[in-house]
Amino acid sequence: SSRVLWTLAVTQFLSVCFEKMSNFEEIGRAFVEYYYNLFDTDRAQLAALYQDQSLLTFEQDKIQGKANIIAKLQSLPFTSVKHTIVTADCQPSVSGGIMVFVNGNLKVDGGEHPMMFGQIFHLMPTGTNQFGLPTTCSVSTTAKYFFVNELLHRLFVKESTNPTNQKKK
């Protein structure tokens, strides 16, 4: 009898969990908007999105830990930046995580010509509930996420990469 009630409770809980996991697209896009707004206005506030195990690959540099990542972001050699998101693709990952791949353009210090960039975020829930499931499945609380992994590369496009534009020898 108690086993039946427990099974029923877990089944109901899991159905809510899977329903909430279908919101990965909404959660991922909300994080993208939030992240780039903070990056463009006050990078120090991004610290809430990282933990000590977070790892950032910035071009070829690998930086681990909240303090080191924020120090890197605050040391970037520009005073103003504006990101424009072109695409943001999201997928659910293991343990309630969310993978987000962003393509966009950024302008620094009011420059005329934007630089293209690609960035990947791996968001993970900050904890688990009494069933050992990610907090994304929690019925009573809003899940909180952090960046466990982040990769950023600026993309440089050569003037003429199209073979039809090149002269034949």
User: What are the tens digits of pLDDT across the range 16-37?
Assistant: 555 555 588 888 888 999 999 9
What is the spatial distance between Cα 121 and Cα 39, in angstroms, rounded to a whole number?
A: 14
State the chain's maximal CA–CA distance in angstroms.
Answer: 84
Most confident of 11-25, 75-89, 129-143: 75-89
pTM: 0.72
What is the spatial distance between Cα 49 and Cα 122, in angstroms, rounded to a whole number?
A: 11
51: burial class by Cβ within 10 Å (0-12, 13-18, 19+)? middle
What distance lies between CA 106 and its chain's CA centroid? 17
- Residues 101-119 have a mean pLDDT of 93
